[in-house]
Amino acid sequence: MSGMLVLVGGGEWTEGCSFDRLLLELSGASEVAVLPTGSAYENPGRLVDGARSWFADLGVDAVEVPVLTRRDALVAEHAAVLRASRMIYLAGTSAMHIRSVLKDTPVLDAVLAAWSDGAVLVGTNAGADVLCDPMVDSRGGAFTVGLGVVQGMAVIPRLEEWSHDKVRRTVELAPAGVSLAGVPSRTALMRTPEGQWRVEGAGEVAVYVGGRPATLADLPS
């Protein structure tokens, strides 16, 4: 049985992200592996520093796994660190870059193997978007291929930054049979190992199926 899967809308490692303490307890992790892949061209060091400061206050270390390019995703040492991790955070702002770097690599295989063995897997911002298939192209709100950890579901991260018209367009463009979840910043949409969904954090998640408002119970288990 796989571990907890968590899709965070963004605003990670800031006030209101109370769910991280819960995730640490559930995972039993003594450190958190952070993949800053989605911010490879936007000061990934600053992103990692934010994680280190936040998790230090929670009593654990945040360890950077520096996978910023596809070559990095082929490094055996990076894969080994992730395979042994009990809690993994995939972060950054570009889902397209994450997909191009991680797809069909030893690093992604290691992440999925750790999660399959019960580790908590967290995607935040673009990291939440890319874990789904399809994923939302935030540049225009249309859909494209994601990494497929969650099938038949897509996520709009940072929902509060989207206009009503842009959300409506994305809802209308959703392929048949695909559930769509709008997740605000500092909010976690969490799927338990048993396949049940819950929301923790500062905001509320909006769910759409077939172009209409729906509930967490309508998301794929």
Exposed / middle / buried, residue 134 (Cβ in 10 Å: 0-12, 13-18, 19+): buried
Alpha helices in the chain (DSSP H): 19-27, 44-57, 76-83, 95-102, 106-116, 126-131, 164-173
The domains of the chain, with CATH numbers, are 5-218 (3.40.50.880)
What does pTM read for this prediction?
0.97
End-to-end CA distance of the chain: 13
Tokens of 39: 């911010």
Give, for all 221 residues of the chain, the pLDDT tens digit: 689 999 999 999 999 999 999 999 999 999 999 999 999 999 999 999 999 999 999 999 999 999 999 999 999 999 999 999 999 999 999 999 999 999 999 999 999 999 999 999 999 999 999 999 999 998 888 899 999 999 999 999 999 999 999 999 999 999 999 999 999 999 999 999 999 999 999 999 999 999 999 999 999 98
